[in-house]
Amino acid sequence: MIIDCHGHYTTSPAAHNQWRDQQKANFKTGGDIDPAYPDISDDQIRETIEQNQLRLLRERGADMTIFSPRASAMEPHVGDLAVSETWARICNDLCARVAQLFPDRFLPGAMLPQSPGALPATTIPELTRAVEELGVVTVNLNPDPSGGSFSAPPLTDRSWYPFFEKMVELDVPAMIHVSGSCNCAMHATGAYYLAADTIAFMQFIEGDLFRDFPTLRFIIPHGGGAVPYHWGRYRGLADMLKRPPLAEHVMKNVYFDTCVYHQPGIDLMFEVIDVDNILFGSEMVGAVRGIDPQTGHYFDDTKRYIDALDIPAEDKRKVFELNARRVYPRLDAQLKARGL
């Protein structure tokens, strides 16, 4: 079984996106931030999926995707906490519907109702609802709700602890994922995403979060940002800062996905990162949707790069399936309940 750990509903129905535009407009004018949600039929949802993510899953030979709301549209910097709470609920419900319509293909992930300056604990009710009522197997946690100024405390800050306690209690991991950039100097998918990934990893080196939460698990997407490329720098910094070796201090709790859109990058990742810490992911249909003229294949068809690796079949199975079952126990439980 091949499980893509990183998919967003980037092709959500126009009516859903229009609702968001209405919400934003209402917020500005002091209107209703929870206006009536449009009647979006199952067929309308099916259509947005079948022509896009489902078609590509079939064409590329993958089986399932962990499917969460569009990252760039989470926009925690827009409006206030109440706006985010409403928007998160609506987006999470929509992704859960996709998973209900295609139970063999999509498992739901959730976004969190974050807002700049709001305590992480404010997101616990939606986390709990998403896990217990919608069946989500993971959440996306935004380390910079400001949308590009990196003004939030580090992920190792005590203000996160109540949220992490709930994550541990529910046994769900989080993908660390910023949203759209409202900083004109920082392109979202070309700069902000990778910067945030890299910054988060260094926060884990500096802190002692996993001493306090030994079973807390994070996925750092986009191949871990700059981290594998600079693996020597991080090993050396851990040493200089008198931190324990990365293998015990960070890498029992942190996983990288394979959203690296060329073979040499994937080769490097597998050379320096333990295979137990790598999860197959593509983020299709996402940041880079074109075909690589050098290969004739989609840049984000990351399964091809893994297929091409000269590593044992058992290692590929870890990356495609077994690691995901271990990192996302609720995914494993749902699959087992279906006899998979």
Question: Which stretches of the chain are DSSP H helices?
Answer: 14-29, 42-50, 53-60, 81-101, 124-132, 161-170, 193-206, 209-212, 231-240, 246-249, 263-272, 302-307, 313-317, 323-327, 329-337
Nearer to a second copy, 272 or 333 (CB): 272
Q: Edge-to-edge strands of the sheet including 218-220? A: 110-111, 139-141, 174-176, 218-220, 254-257, 278-279
- Using CA atoms, how far apart are residues 224 and 197, in angstroms rounded to an integer? 6
Name which of 147, 226, 142 is nearest 188 in CA terms. 147
> C-beta of 303: minimal distance to a second copy in Å?
14
> C-beta of 245: minimal distance to a second copy in Å?
9
Query: What residues form DSSP beta bridges with 40?
Result: none
> C-beta of 241: minimal distance to a second copy in Å?
8
Catalytic residues: 283
- The DSSP output letter for 291 is B
- The site for a second copy (CB under 8 A) is made up of 143, 148-154, 183-187, 189-192, 194-195, 198-199, 201-203, 205-206, 222-223, 225-226, 228-237, 239-240, 260-265, 267-268, 271-272, 287-290, 292, 294, 299-300
| Distances, alpha carbon 74 to alpha carbons 140, 142, 250, 304, in Å | 10, 9, 27, 30
Nearer to a second copy, 26 or 263 (CB): 263
Query: What residues form DSSP beta bridges with 140?
Result: 111, 175
Nearer to a second copy, 57 or 178 (CB): 178
> C-beta of 154: minimal distance to a second copy in Å?
4
